[in-house]
């Protein structure tokens, strides 16, 4: 499997400079725990589920440096919940009626296949009846009428781009002052939280090889 190494965008906010990893995509899942009005409500005919149904699968796949997972309240099309929205390779895809626990790993299987291919793939048979498009396509010839100010991008060839980032969640962290650190092959890695350290220590190679490889 050939994986793209992430790039970093340098941003200025609140008087400070930050390095933010650019992702391939993001998955938004509508949940009762996060304020939905229908998704996850068994009294409204939806499959009840804990957020862990999605988060544990996401963590197991080790794809957080390419696809972010967000739990949200109402996504809007309540009549066809449980709902999720996937943005990947610049395309938005909606998923409806996710009322079977087996559909969560099926969604991540599809995401991983698209990450590996570097392209948008047709939905697999397990998801064919769950995929639809809510947004209208952009008008022909439409181009952004603005420029991204102060958003310099460091490409994969920039060996210093990932210095000072947690190798698991890719958040900025100072090795000198971080409370959570670990040694691996003679190098010190810093983490934003004990959960990231625990995941790294359990399987360092999955965060330091392929697309997850970066200079710290």
Residues 83-97 have pLDDT tens digits of 999 999 999 999 999
More confident residue, 189 or 33: 33
Percent of the chain with pLDDT over 70: 84
3 state DSSP class of 151: coil
Residue boundaries of the structural domains of the chain: 7-132, 162-212
Top-tier CATH class for 7-132: alpha beta
**CA-to-CA distance for 194 and 204, rounded, in angstroms?**
15
Q: Can you tell me the mean pLDDT for 128-154?
A: 75
CB 162 within 8 A of CB 169: no
**CA-to-CA distance for 215 and 115, rounded, in angstroms?**
22
More confident residue, 20 or 209: 20
* 93-102, 146-155, 185-194: the lowest-pLDDT one: 146-155
More confident residue, 42 or 155: 42
Instruction: pLDDT band for 122, please (50, 70, 90 cuts).
Output: very high
- The answer on pLDDT for 201 being more than 50 is yes
Closest CA to 190 of 211, 163, 209, 213: 163
**CA-to-CA distance for 211 and 24, rounded, in angstroms?**
11
């Amino acid at each position: 499997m050939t994986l793209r190494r992430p790039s970093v965008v340098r941003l200025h906010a609140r008087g400070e400079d930050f390095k933010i990893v650019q992702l391939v995509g993001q998955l938004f899942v509508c949940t009762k725990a996060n304020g939905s009005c229908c998704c996850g409500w068994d009294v409204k005919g939806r499959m009840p589920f804990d957020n862990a149904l999605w988060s544990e699968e996401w963590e197991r796949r080790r794809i957080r440096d390419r696809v972010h997972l967000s739990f949200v309240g109402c996504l809007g099309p309540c009549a066809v919940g449980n709902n999720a929205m996937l943005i990947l390779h610049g395309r938005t895809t909606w998923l409806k009626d996710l009322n079977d626990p087996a559909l969560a790993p099926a969604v991540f299987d599809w995401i991983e296949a698209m990450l590996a291919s570097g392209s948008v793939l047709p939905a697999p048979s397990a998801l064919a009846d769950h995929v639809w498009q809510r947004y209208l396509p952009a008008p022909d010839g439409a181009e952004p009428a603005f420029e991204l100010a102060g958003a310099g991008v460091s490409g994969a060839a920039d060996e210093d781009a990932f210095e000072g980032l947690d190798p698991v969640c890719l958040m900025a962290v100072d090795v000198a002052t971080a409370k959570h650190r670990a040694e691996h092959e003679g190098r010190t890695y810093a983490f934003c939280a004990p959960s990231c350290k625990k995941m790294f220590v359990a399987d360092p190679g999955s965060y330091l090889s392929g697309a997850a490889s970066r200079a710290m």
